[in-house]
């Protein structure tokens, strides 16, 4: 009887060990499979989202900075512009006798005063006509160069009108007025003639009236 009980007990232990071994094999396999399948989706999600954010940030930055750089360039270029030329309406134009002593050649100085409230540039020769009893007498330009000048607000420049007075004793060509057109302008001003009342009548091919460029004569200078 003792031998039978030992045999039965041994058989039961063997059977129990077999059952526990089968259950242990199933449990680790299922757990590993579940762990592997649950960890894969988060890894794939991170790989896709990271590149999607970088292109958006990279494209936005240059587009936002470009307008600021462009406007700065335009501002610096604008400060380097030259003053606009002096227009007729920018100037107060007057004329006065500027003959010195007993000079044979008489001089009238024409003053152009900048009244515009801003700087303006002026260069070259004005248009000048003397209004006379014989019609308009255009002034010829002297062979002088002018580099131009910038007039501040309230600053004047001058040019000279050079002519010979009538000393023949006759009436000569009587001067009734003076028409001045600033350089590169179409609008003229008509002034009272401040010089000698008449020019000599002459058949000489030489011009009877000449002018210098801007800045060629100062007030009271011949």
- Enumerate the β-bridge partners of residue 179: 129, 190
In this structure, CATH architecture of domain 88-211: Sandwich (2.60)
**Residue 168 pLDDT:** 76
HSE at residue 167, side-chain half, CA atoms within 13 A, is 8
Residues 6+ apart with CB under 8 A from 86: 112, 114, 116, 120, 121, 122, 151, 182
Between CA 161 and CA 14 the distance in angstroms is: 139
Q: What pLDDT, on a 0 to 100 scale, did the predictor assign at position 201?
A: 84
Measured CA to CA, the distance from residue 51 to residue 154 in angstroms comes to 66
Give, in degrees to the nearest 5, the angle at Cα 22 between 19 and 25.
Answer: 150
Q: Residue 2: enclosing H or E segment and its boundaries?
A: helix 2-79
The residues, ordered by sequence, that sit 6+ positions from 55 with a Cβ below 8 Å of its Cβ are none
Paired tokens of 65: 């900075």
> Which pLDDT belongs to residue 206?
67
The widest CA-to-CA distance across the chain, in whole angstroms, is 182
- DSSP 8-class letter at 170: S
* Residues 98-157: tens digit of each pLDDT: 998 878 899 999 999 999 999 999 999 999 999 998 899 999 999 998 889 999 999 999
Q: Which residues of the chain have pLDDT under 50?
A: 1-78, 219-222
Domain definitions of the chain by residue range:
1-81, 88-211
């Amino acid at each position: 009887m003792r031998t039978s009980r030992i045999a039965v007990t041994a058989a039961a232990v063997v059977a129990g060990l077999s059952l526990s071994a089968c259950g242990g094999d199933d449990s680790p396999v299922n757990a590993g499979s579940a762990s592997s399948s649950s960890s894969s989706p988060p890894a794939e999600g991170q790989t896709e989202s990271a590149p999607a954010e970088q292109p958006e940030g990279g494209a936005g930055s240059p587009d936002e900075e470009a307008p600021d750089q462009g406007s700065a360039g335009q501002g610096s270029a604008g400060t380097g512009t030259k003053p606009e030329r002096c227009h007729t309406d920018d100037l107060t134009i007057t004329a006065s006798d500027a003959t010195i002593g007993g000079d044979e050649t008489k001089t009238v100085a024409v003053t152009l005063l900048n009244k515009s409230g801003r700087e303006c540039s002026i260069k070259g020769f004005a248009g000048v006509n003397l209004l006379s009893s014989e019609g308009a007498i255009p002034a010829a330009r002297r062979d002088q160069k002018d580099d131009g000048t910038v007039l501040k607000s309230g600053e004047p420049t001058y040019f000279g009108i050079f002519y010979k007075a009538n000393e023949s004793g006759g009436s000569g060509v009587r001067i009734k007025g003076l028409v001045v057109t600033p350089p590169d302008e179409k609008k003229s001003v008509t002034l009272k003639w401040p010089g000698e009342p008449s020019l000599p009548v002459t058949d000489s091919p030489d011009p009877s009236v000449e002018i210098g460029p801007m800045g060629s004569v100062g007030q009271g200078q011949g």
